Amino acid sequence: MGEIMSICYACGCKLTSDNETKEHIFIQAIGGRLYSKNLLCKQCNSEFGNIIDSSLAEQLNFISNMLNIKRDRGRPPAFEVEDAKTGEPLLCMPGGKLEYLKPMIKKDGNKYSVRVNNAKEAKAVIKGLKRKHPELNEEEILKTLKNNEEYLDHEVSFEIVFGTGDVFRSICKTAINFYLFSNGNLDDVKHLIPYIKRKEDRKDIVLWSILSDDPIECDASDISHNIIIVGDRNEEILFCYIEFFGVYRVIVVLNNQYKGAAFKASYFFDVILRQEIKRNWSLSLSRLELEQMIYAPLPKDTIKRQLMMLMEKIQKKQSHDHLAILLERAMNNFKEKCLANTLSEEEQYEELINETMKQLTPWYLHVLRNQRKEDEQL
C-alpha cells in the first residue's frame, strides 16, 4: 500500500508539516493501529473525532472495555452496568473488573461498616467520617481494614446499542480512509464528503450486511477488525465490506456509478495481538444484490449469534488475564515474605504453595459455582 495524497480530502487544504496528523483507518479508540498522515488535516481530524468518531467509539466501548483493548492513547472508559440480582449500579472497568459506583456506609449503633473499592476510597470516607466525629483515630481505623476480593456469582446487565446517531457516518469515513490509503481515486468518493460532514442524510450508503456466507476465512479464536474494498467495472459499483470485532458487519456503497478499473484491497487486524494478519477472502456482489441490502432489515439474529460467540472469547481472555494477575500477586507476596524472613528451602516451598492457594482458591470456587449453575440450566 502506498499513499500519494497531499491535500486534506475533507476540506481541500494542502497538507504540511504544520497541519498534518495521524488519521487512523480503524479509529484508535477501538484499538486501530493503521494510520496515514496524508488523508486529513489536523482540524478536520479533530472535528470528525469529536463528533462522528466519538459516536462509534461510544457504541463499541463495551467490547473495547471488556477486552481491555490496547490503544495508542489511554484505556477504554469504564461503563455502567447493573447487578441483575440486586439492581445495584456497578462500574465495569477495563478488562471486565467490576467496581462499586460509590462507597456504601452502614451505621449500627456506634459502629460503622464501610464498603469501598480500594484503600484510597477508604481513606476519603474515613476523613469524611472524622469531620463528623473528630474523636475518630484515622490511623487506628486504617489498621483494621480488611481487603476482601469478592467475585460476583450472577449476571450483570447493560444496554447494547449500535448504528444510531453518527455511527454510520464514521463507518463511511473508515471506508473512504482505507480506499484513499490504498491509492484509490478521490473523485470516486468525494460525493460522500457532505454525508460524513453531517450535511446530508442518506440511507443508501451504509447498509447492514446480509451475506449468506462469510467472505473471510477466519480462525475460530480471531477477534479482529476487517475491511475489504472491491471495485467492479462491469457492475459499475465500488463498495466496502467492514467488520468490527468480527460482530458488526456492514457494506458501504462508495460509488454506484463506478467507471474505474477493477479494484481490490483488504486489511485484517487482530485486536488482541495488535498486528495485521493474513486471511483468504472472496467477495463479489451484483448491483441488484447491493440494492436489495438498502431495504434489508437489521439482521438481529445474526448479530446476536456473533455477539454470543464474541462474549465466549471475551470470557476466556478475561479468565486467562485474571489468572495471570493472581499468579503474579502470589509470587510477589512470596518474594516479600522470603526477603523479610529467613526460611529454609522446605519452608519456602510450603509458603509458595500456601500463597498460591490463597490467591487461586476464591477464583476457582467462583468458577465452579458458575459452572454448576450452567449445568443446572441445561
What is the full DSSP assignment across 216-273? B---TT--EEEEEEEEETTTTEEEEEEEETTTEEEEEEEESS--S--EEEEEEEETTT
Task: Examine the domain organization and report whether 131 and 109 are in the same domain.
Answer: yes
CA distance 354 to 55: 48
In this prediction, residue 107 carries a pLDDT of 75
Residues 6+ apart with CB under 8 A from 23: 35, 36, 37, 39, 40, 45, 177
Q: What does the block give as the cell for 275?
A: 498486528
pTM: 0.88
In this prediction, residue 342 carries a pLDDT of 81
* Domain limit, last residue, from 298, 329, 350: 298
Task: Examine the domain organization and report whether 274 and 326 are in the same domain.
Answer: no
| Number of Cβ within a 10 Å radius of residue 294 | 13
Task: Examine the domain organization and report whether 37 and 121 are in the same domain.
Answer: no
> Minimal CA–CA distance to 224: which of 266, 161, 185?
266
Task: Examine the domain organization and report whether 195 and 294 are in the same domain.
Answer: yes
Task: Examine the domain organization and report whether 168 and 228 are in the same domain.
Answer: yes
In this prediction, residue 2 carries a pLDDT of 47
Do residues 359 and 330 touch, judged by C-beta distance below 8 A?
Answer: yes
CA distance 334 to 325: 14
Q: What is the DSSP letter of 191?
A: G
Range of the domain at 198: 23-58+161-298
CA distance 33 to 40: 16
Q: How far is CA 378 from CA 248, 309, 312, 374, 375, in A?
A: 29, 18, 17, 7, 5
Sign of the dihedral through C-alpha 374, 321, 148, 126? negative
Give me the residues of the chain with pLDDT under 50, please. Answer: 1-3
Task: Examine the domain organization and report whether 291 and 314 are in the same domain.
Answer: no
Residues 283-306: tens digit of each pLDDT: 999 999 999 999 888 899 999 999
> Minimal CA–CA distance to 226: which of 238, 234, 217, 235?
217
Within a domain: residue 127? Answer: yes
Task: Examine the domain organization and report whether 169 and 43 are in the same domain.
Answer: yes
CA distance 154 to 368: 13
In this prediction, residue 340 carries a pLDDT of 83
Within a domain: residue 364? Answer: yes
Cα 79 off chain centre by = 11
Task: Examine the domain organization and report whether 290 and 261 are in the same domain.
Answer: yes
Task: Examine the domain organization and report whether 32 and 46 are in the same domain.
Answer: yes
Task: Examine the domain organization and report whether 216 and 264 are in the same domain.
Answer: yes
Within a domain: residue 17? Answer: no
Task: Examine the domain organization and report whether 172 and 148 are in the same domain.
Answer: no
Task: Examine the domain organization and report whether 225 and 337 are in the same domain.
Answer: no
* Number of domains into which the chain is organized: 3
